[in-house]
Amino acid sequence: MNELRVCPITAKKVIIAKKRAKRFRDVKGPKSFAATYKKCCPFCYGKKLDVKETFRIDWNLMDKYDWDLRGFLNLSPYLESRIHKKKNGIKKNDLFKTTTPYGTAEVLVENREHSKLLSTMTSIELQDLFIAYKNRYEDLLKRWREVLIFRNYGFFAGQSITHPHSQIIGINEESPNIKHEKRLACKYYKEHNGCVICSLIKEERKKKKRIIFENNHYIAICPWASSFPYEVLIIPKEHQSSILEFSLESMAGLAETYQAVFGALNSKLFDPSYNYYFRNYRTVDEENGQALHWFIRIMPRGISIPAGFELGTGIESVNVIPPEDAASLFREYTNKRK
């Protein structure tokens, strides 16, 4: 039987419609492109980019063009780096309103190897990536209201350069999604005297059927109201509002979780396109901090595309793969790693 589920974090509605996975199809899309070496790749080592560098991890200090991880300003930013002196003239009764999107955008090239996958990176390489995430998040948070860390991988996820990289943006106002999630989390905290995600972890550990992997520091689940087929949440077991609370020990635990989760994605879904983002929260007081719990959301793309029903009704999605089935498939891989 199909189900209409409500996400406890976002309150968005999702229909789990397993029967629709069996419907007839004669339309096929392009495969997710593999990351192959390209001499013209601007991110490969040895290339000199005329752009400001923001971060670097370099185990070979003798060669400034030989690096292990590096960050720099995005050459094709979404946002304007400074407010123009002349304002865009938003009037109270304007029908067509406009203003300048104000912020900064950075790229983190995660590895010098062009074909490296997250699932094949070593624990040290992944921990270097998390150190870079934390460093750039902390630095940008001093100047911007909100900072988002995200990654696009593959054709259906909007990746434009195949060399493995993440992106980080800082914006001057709180995004609608953050506002909405914070409001719901604080409401839950006041009503239940606890964090909604801590409660979620407790319930998922009781039921076990949506858990993919867990260690001492993190748990990975296919969420109850998954908007995307095979969607995954990675959540720290300890209550933390952002990656500013990262410890070196927990980074090692997250590296192990990445290897398990992305290994399962690559093995069972054959290297799919995906987007992921870190949901970090800026806290303003103790109660706010107790209510907000950071997580990573991974969304495989190209398996199911929102169509007229979803777009017309505002229901988040119709997911043809129940999260319980997705988690069971992924456990076939993660259980072999133990």
Per residue in 98-147, pLDDT tens? 677 788 999 999 988 888 899 999 999 999 999 999 999 999 999 999 99
* The CATH number fitting domain 3-21+32-80+99-337, selected from 1.10.3720.10, 3.30.428.10, 3.30.70.1150, 3.40.50.1820: 3.30.428.10
Domain boundary assignment for the chain: 3-21+32-80+99-337
SS3 content of the chain, % helix, strand, coil (to 5): 35, 20, 45
d(CA 251, CA 218): 10
Per residue in 1-60, pLDDT tens? 677 778 888 887 776 776 555 543 333 444 444 444 456 788 887 766 677 888 888 766
Distances 27 to 134, 157, 179, 256, 304 between C-alpha atoms, Å: 42, 19, 38, 37, 12
| 50-82 as b/e: b if 16+ CB within 10 A | eeeebbeeeeeeeeeeebbbbbbebeebebeee
Distances 71 to 45, 116, 232, 240 between C-alpha atoms, Å: 13, 17, 26, 26
Per residue in 47-79, pLDDT tens? 666 778 888 887 665 555 567 888 988 877 777
